C-alpha cells in the first residue's frame, strides 16, 4: 500500500496531531460497528467531488439516524486544512461518523456523534490494471444496508488473501443470483454498446455516477437487475471508485469477459472520467460547489 498517514487529523471539531487524537473505548463505532464513512481523493493536491462525497456521507449518516454535526463548508474547510498540514503529494481523505460513546454498548446520544477526518498519501494503483485490465473474484454476500457506506468491511478483509492469491483487484458481490457491486467499487457492464448498471442494493457511486452521466450523452445507460450470467456474458465490464477512477475488468473468476482484452467502450470511459475529474479539479468547482 505504501505512503503514510497524515500527521494531523480532524476530530470532533478540531485539528490535532494524530497521536493525540483519542477515540473513546466506549465509542459505538468501535463496540458495535455503528458508523459510516466516505472517502475522496485529490488531483493535483485538490480534493475532488467534495460536494458529492459530503452529500453521500450525510445520506449514509441519515440512514443510521445520525447527523453530520457540522456544515458542508466546515467539512470542506477541515479537509483543506488537513491537506495543507499533512503535505501529501496526492491524498485520500476519509471522513468517519459514528454514533459516539455508548458505555452500555447499546444506547448512545445521536446528538453527540464522533466525527473524524483522516488523510493518507494516495496509494499507487498498478498501471497494468488500466492497460491490461483487472480481474474480480465473486463472493456471495449482500452488504447490510447497502445504500449506506458503513464501516463494515469484514467480508472484504477476510477475502484479502484470496484476492491477492488470484491477482484480482477486488471481489464482486452477488446474492440470490444478482450482482451488486465490488467491495470497494461500483460495477458496470457494457452490452451491445449500452452500459448496464445494477439498480438496487448498491451504494451510489460518486465517480460511477459522473461517468454514467457523461457517457449518457452519447450512449444508452440502463439501470436494472444484473445476473452473474449477464456479467459473464458481457462484452466489457468495469469498476469505478474514487481512488481508482475507471478500471477495465477483463476476467471474473476464471471466465474471460468479452475477448479478455480492454475494450473500446471502457477505454473511452477511462478517458471521459480522467478528463472530467481533471477539468473539475482545475476549475475548483467540485470544491466549492
Among 41, 42, 60, 98, binds its own copies (CB under 8 A): 98
Among 40, 50, 118, 273, binds its own copies (CB under 8 A): 118
Q: Verify binding: residue 125, its own copies, rule CB under 8 A.
A: no
**Angle between helix 206-215 and 50-63 (nearest 10):** 120
Among 40, 54, 61, 64, binds its own copies (CB under 8 A): 64
Q: Verify binding: residue 85, its own copies, rule CB under 8 A.
A: no
Q: What would the DSSP string read from start to end of 85-140?
A: HH--SSEEEEEEEE--B-TTSS---TTS-EEEEEEEEPPPPPTHHHHT-EEEEEEE
Touching its own copies, residues 170-209 (CB under 8 A): none
Stretch that binds its own copies, among 72-80, 101-109, 196-204, 234-242 (CB under 8 A): 101-109
Complex with its own copies: residue 115 or 212, whichever CB lies closer: 115
Complex with its own copies: residue 102 or 234, whichever CB lies closer: 102
Q: Verify binding: residue 25, its own copies, rule CB under 8 A.
A: yes
Q: What would the DSSP string read from start to end of 245-281?
A: EEEEEEEETTEESTTSS--HHHHHHHHHHHHHHHHHH
Task: Name the minimum Å distance from CB 91 to its own copies.
Answer: 12
The H-or-E segment that residue 213 falls in is helix 206-215
Task: Name the minimum Å distance from CB 65 to its own copies.
Answer: 8
Asked whether the beta carbons of 36 and 111 are under 8 A apart, the reply is no
Going 28 to 32 to 34 to 35, the CA torsion angle's sign is positive
Task: Name the minimum Å distance from CB 62 to its own copies.
Answer: 12
Among 104, 111, 127, 131, binds its own copies (CB under 8 A): 104
Give Rg (Cα) of the chain.
19
- Provide the grid cell at 154: 469484514
The size of the chain, in residues, is: 289
Residues forming contacts to its own copies in the complex (CB under 8 A) are: 1, 3-5, 9, 11, 18, 21-35, 37, 39, 64-65, 94, 96, 98-99, 103-107, 116, 118, 120, 123, 141, 144-145, 150-155, 157-158, 160
Amino acid at each position: 500500500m505504501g505512503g503514510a498517514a497524515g500527521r494531523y487529523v480532524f476530530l470532533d471539531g478540531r485539528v490535532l496531531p494524530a497521536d493525540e487524537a483519542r477515540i473513546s473505548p466506549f465509542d459505538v463505532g468501535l463496540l458495535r460497528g455503528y458508523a459510516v464513512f466516505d472517502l475522496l481523493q485529490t488531483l493535483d493536491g485538490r480534493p475532488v467531488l467534495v460536494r458529492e462525497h459530503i452529500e453521500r456521507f450525510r445520506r449514509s449518516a441519515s440512514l443510521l439516524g445520525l447527523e453530520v454535526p457540522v456544515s458542508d463548508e466546515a467539512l470542506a474547510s477541515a479537509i483543506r486544512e488537513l491537506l495543507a498540514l499533512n503535505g501529501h503529494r496526492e491524498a485520500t481523505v476519509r471522513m468517519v461518523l459514528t454514533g459516539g460513546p455508548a458505555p452500555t454498548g447499546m444506547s448512545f446520544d445521536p446528538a453527540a456523534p464522533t466525527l473524524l477526518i483522516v488523510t493518507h498519501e494516495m496509494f499507487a494503483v498498478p498501471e497494468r490494471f488500466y492497460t491490461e485490465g483487472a480481474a474480480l473474484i465473486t463472493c456471495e454476500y449482500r452488504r447490510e444496508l447497502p445504500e449506506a457506506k458503513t464501516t463494515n468491511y469484514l467480508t472484504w478483509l477476510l477475502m484479502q488473501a484470496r484476492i491477492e492469491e488470484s491477482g484480482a483487484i477486488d471481489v464482486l458481490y452477488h446474492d440470490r443470483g444478482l450482482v451488486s457491486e465490488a467491495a470497494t467499487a461500483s460495477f458496470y457492464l457494457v452490452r451491445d454498446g449500452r452500459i448496464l448498471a445494477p439498480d438496487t442494493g448498491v451504494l451510489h457511486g460518486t465517480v460511477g455516477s459522473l461517468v454514467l452521466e457523461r457517457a449518457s450523452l452519447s450512449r444508452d445507460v440502463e439501470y436494472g437487475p444484473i445476473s452473474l450470467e449477464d456479467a459473464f456474458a458481457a462484452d466489457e465490464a468495469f469498476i469505478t471508485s474514487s481512488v481508482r477512477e475507471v478500471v477495465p475488468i477483463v476476467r471474473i473468476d476464471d471466465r474471460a469477459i468479452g475477448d479478455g482484452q480492454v475494450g473500446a467502450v471502457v477505454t473511452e470511459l477511462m478517458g471521459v472520467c480522467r478528463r472530467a475529474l481533471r477539468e473539475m479539479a482545475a476549475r475548483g468547482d467540485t470544491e466549492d460547489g
